[in-house]
Amino acid sequence: MSEDGTNFDLVIIGGGPGGYGAALYGAAAGLDVALVEMHKLGGTCLHVGCIPAKELLETAHVLRTVKEAAEFGVNAGEPTLDIDVSMARKQAVIDQLTAGVGQLLKGRKVTMFDGVGSLGADRQVSISGGESGDVTVTGTHVILASGSKPRSIPGFDVDGSIVMTSDEVLSIDRVPATAAIIGGGAIGCEFASALADFGTEVTVLEALPKILAGCDDDVTKVVERAFKKRGITVKTGAMVQGHTPHGNGTVLDLGDGESLDVEVVVVSVGRRPFPDLLGLDGTGVQLDERNFVVVDEYCRTSAPGVYALGDLVDTPQLAHVAFAEAIMVIKHLLGEDPLPVDYTKVPWAIYCQPEVAFAGHTEASAIEAGYDVLVSKHRFIGNSRAKIVGSTDGMVKIIAEKLDDGSGGQILGVHMAGPWVTEQLGQGYLAVNWEATVDEVAEFIQPHPTLSELFGESVLAMTGRSLHG
């Protein structure tokens, strides 16, 4: 930092995972870093995204566990949900994590500025509207990491009572009797799962032919079957035409004379980039037709010395992707020649019931890419640990390259649905990213009895010599 405190090695606009991740990693590498945040440290993920959503889902898990306790001989009575207590616990977790990020930044001597940051010429950043007062700082490098906002759809103005987005659902003060979730992606399915456990009659409305469009077809079928068993209605190919509010909710127009009367509508159709306050006109930073900042494989914008990452660019909108991009960017601006992030091998985790986790090719995408594939599928119903915990819905599916002799070669994709699979993906992710072969992974010793044992069984079966299936 210069003597007047306005010149830095790196200035970052946005304190979400990508922004604070770059600040921490850059400071650890010896850079003099300034971080500008207009709201709260942690961004979407920490405040209105993955953390509060998973807290809500954990509440649902505990409620479901107590309801099913009698199966284990534990008589706990009929549980009830105190939504106020649940929301208070959620907020406590958020506050603790937010404070933790702040302490980490302070410990690494990152200079914090409160306010709206906008980019000017020559990597100048003007900061306004915050407690820091109006100030202009300059960075040898600048990172844009202003995140995203929930997308909306025409005719569904968010009022926080009848029509909600993810932001409002995560702060509900009541459990609705009925709800429609417009959008059957990861976020929509997570909300559907949680609300159903809370006692809401849930209908998922998805315009595409299936929910969880990015998932392998077999995994999607597992979730669809489980949802049906739990009383969650899934309507695919659903084109919502609009809605008509009334005193106790609203009536959705589904076309062809079909309607749906619900208390609450949750619009869950993804998130849009949020470059709105960055002041990019005249900076040389380009936006595409969907308002994403255009970057190259190293997250460099068209303006010299300016990078963009996280939800602001057209890459998977995941906190861990933003972390990966942040690390890559810091290495790049330091001249360390990092490898670009391989977005085709990103690990995904979806926390509905049953959970979903995957990395690498689906069976369909592997075939489309020109591979002759070998597939192994094993269900949790045959896994001893799954039987012990009382959760046997789901499967492990592995896609490998089929060699000329019919044996399995490189592992191309690992896909899971079932109990705690979000915590089991690690070895599958490593197999995909290290381009391991079936024979190599089959040598791993799997602890018994564990849920992760099913991954080993599935790989072993691809050698033609399995133990249990």
Separation of alpha carbons 431 and 440, rounded Å: 9
Residues 6+ apart with CB under 8 A from 359: 345, 346, 347, 348, 413, 414, 425, 428, 429, 432, 433
Which of 419, 416, 415 shows the shortest CA–CA distance to 393? 419
Which of 249, 283, 246, 279 shows the shortest CA–CA distance to 266? 249
Task: List residues bridging with 359 in a β-sheet.
Answer: 414
Separation of alpha carbons 211 and 217, rounded Å: 10
Give catalytic status of residue 415 as yes or no.
Answer: no
AA identity, residue 10: L
Q: Measuring CA to CA, how many Å separate 160 from each of 174, 316, 358?
A: 12, 27, 33
Residues 361, 378, 415, 448: which is the catalytic one?
Answer: 448
Separation of alpha carbons 426 and 196, rounded Å: 29
Other residues' Cβ atoms within 10 Å of the Cβ of residue 154: 6
Question: CB–CB of 320/311 below 8 Å?
Answer: no
Rg, C-alpha atoms of the chain: 24
Provide DSSP, 16-47: SHHHHHHHHHHHHTT--EEEEESS-TTHHHHH
Other residues' Cβ atoms within 10 Å of the Cβ of residue 463: 15
Angle between helices 186-198 and 217-229 (to 10 degrees): 20
AA identity, residue 186: A
Which of 64, 59, 66 shows the shortest CA–CA distance to 88? 59
Other residues' Cβ atoms within 10 Å of the Cβ of residue 406: 9
Separation of alpha carbons 279 and 268, rounded Å: 28
Q: Measuring CA to CA, how many Å separate 165 from each of 92, 150, 387?
A: 22, 7, 37
Chain centre to alpha carbon of residue 192: 16
The structure tokens listed for 44 are: 């979407």
Question: CB–CB of 233/203 below 8 Å?
Answer: yes
Size (the chain), residues: 469
Angle between helices 50-67 and 186-198 (to 10 degrees): 40
Strands 355-360 and 373-379: unpaired
Residues annotated catalytic, as ranges:
448
